[in-house]
Amino acid sequence: MRTLLVIAQVAVSLFCLSLLIFVLDWPGILSAMKGINFASMTGAILSFLVAQFVATWRMQLMLRIVGVSLRFREAIRLNWLGLASGNVLPSTVGGDVLIVLGLSRLGRPVMQSLTGLVLNRIVSILATIACLSAVLTVPALMQAIEEVHFDKIVLAAMLLVLLAAIGLIWARRWPALSRRLSEIWELVLSYRKHPWLAFNGFLMSVVILALGAVTFRFLLPELPGRPTFLPLIAIVSLIMVAQLVPISFNGLGIQEGLLTACLTLIGWSVDNSAAAAILIRLITIGLSLPGLLWIDLLWQRQERGAT
């Protein structure tokens, strides 16, 4: 079943990439890429790096809530390992699995580590949905994205809720799995003992979204007379939500097509929009590759006495 899912995800990605290859004007995209100067590219890369450091800090705080202590140096290694694997495995959740495995090799308890990463995901999702909802209420943005069919978005959200409900019903058919999920949920609720840590994690998630918007801003030309920062935050939030649905191989093809369409709605040309979407993918892959240098962490012997 898992193999069929991966094959389906690869097929969706190949279809989307093929569609983009035949539809887009590649000479125009290359020309748009050449128009991005060295300072802008450097700014985009630095913004991406800062966002990863903030994400590492957030993960460290969420693990602390459930009683898992981790030095920042170790957290950096694990976060970059997860980032690298997220560009190889079918979904970003696969990166979390490797982080849990890495934490177990460092002597941290598996259940608490898994719960900390679940809490990290929950905080990120809540911040993303909150930012997307808040930005969509801004009148200046509403005019820019009036062509978006919100009824379809609501329908998709309802479908996701239905799938989650089916998943819970399915899980309860296996008592052992149900007990594990109950234990994780109880640990997740431990955030109430550390409300400020959870709130800081929420703020960090908002900062990460803002840094994502800044990264795009470096890669796109000016739009005179138009606000762009809030629309970019909305787009980054929308992409983050879309990545939760593993219908393609790590969002490959889907992300680029969705980004190009959204940026075009805001006012950028198709060439500039596609160039920014492709460069974001290249920056993500290029800067995540060093994480593979720490993959040996997964095969080292488990440390004893770590807390």
Tokens of 239: 């992409």
pTM of the predicted protein model: 0.74
Backbone phi, then psi, for 69, in 5-degree steps? -90, 145
Q: Which of 145, 159, 143, 167 is nearest to 238 (CA)?
A: 145
Q: What is the pLDDT of the chain when averaged over all its residues?
A: 76
Span 109-138, pLDDT tens digits = 888 888 888 888 888 888 888 887 777 665
> 193 falls in which pLDDT band (50, 70, 90)?
low
Report which of residues 189 and 122 the model is more confident about: 122
Mind listing the pLDDT tens digit for each residue in 24-57?
Answer: 888 898 999 999 899 899 999 999 999 999 999 9
- Residue 83: count other Cβ atoms within 10 Å of its Cβ: 23
- Cβ neighbours for 217, distance < 8 A, ≥ 6 positions apart: 228, 229, 232
pLDDT, average across residues 266-283? 90
- What are 194's two structure tokens? 């550390």
Determine contact, residues 79/59, Cβ cutoff 8 Å.
Answer: yes
DSSP 173: T
